[in-house]
Amino acid sequence: MLEFDRAVKEQYPGTTFGIMVMRGVTIESADGLENDKRELEASLQEQFSGMDKRQMREVAPFSEYHTFYKTFKKTYHVLHQCESIATGKKKLPDGVPLVQAMFMAEVQHQLLTAGYDISHLGSDYTVRLGDGETEFEGIGKTIRKPPNSDIVFTNGETILGSIICGPDHEHRIQQHTEDVLFAIYGVPGISKGQMENHFASVLRYVQLISPESKVDLMQIQ
């Protein structure tokens, strides 16, 4: 179950957060994603044709994330990724199939997303504010410290990630991951409907490469 610390809603009214748990994931290859990857690249090129990065960030939901990141003197990395694909500088990457599926949905809907192997996690999750002091081990085993008032995702005392610092290393999706949690980190202005559409895309992409996988839990609040 997902719970919000009251302070998050008080500081960031209208903030949403979503989780979707899928189980029974078995994947031999990501070949089933290839056609959709090429179609998505073409769609992004058409959607943002003739726009530079400054113009793109004025378009929702980039604009909502830009406002949040600007508070911390950071830039929204998904905007840069979409811009690179839209201009043809980069293609959607290969790699761990589950991560490919997640990233496809992320650039399609432009909502900040993280994925976790939850085989050794419990089932209770909390969204709270960073205190500017507590550290965790981020991707690549780098020590990260969510700044004060960052939005942080936790499992009990374990920090699973934050908007500014990204996800943790220990629970990252790996090649053999069978039980996965996808989290959409929302900011003010991101609706539940947007998250539902995003999760629908994640589900579709995952089931293209693992048809027997099932949704065990979806919660948006």
Residue type for position 176: H
Residues of the chain with pLDDT under 70: none
Angstrom distance (rounded) from CA 48 to CA 188: 23
- Is the pTM here over 0.75, yes or no? yes
Give the residue among 156, 153, 110, 109 at the shortest CA–CA distance from 128: 153
At 144 the pLDDT is 98
At 170 the pLDDT is 96
Contacts from 195-198 at CB under 8 Å and sequence distance 24+? 195/16, 195/18, 195/111, 195/220, 196/220, 197/109, 198/18, 198/105, 198/108, 198/109, 198/111, 198/113
Angstrom distance (rounded) from CA 119 to CA 132: 29
pLDDT in tens, 126-175: 999 999 999 999 999 999 999 999 999 999 889 999 999 999 999 999 99
Angstrom distance (rounded) from CA 187 to CA 160: 17
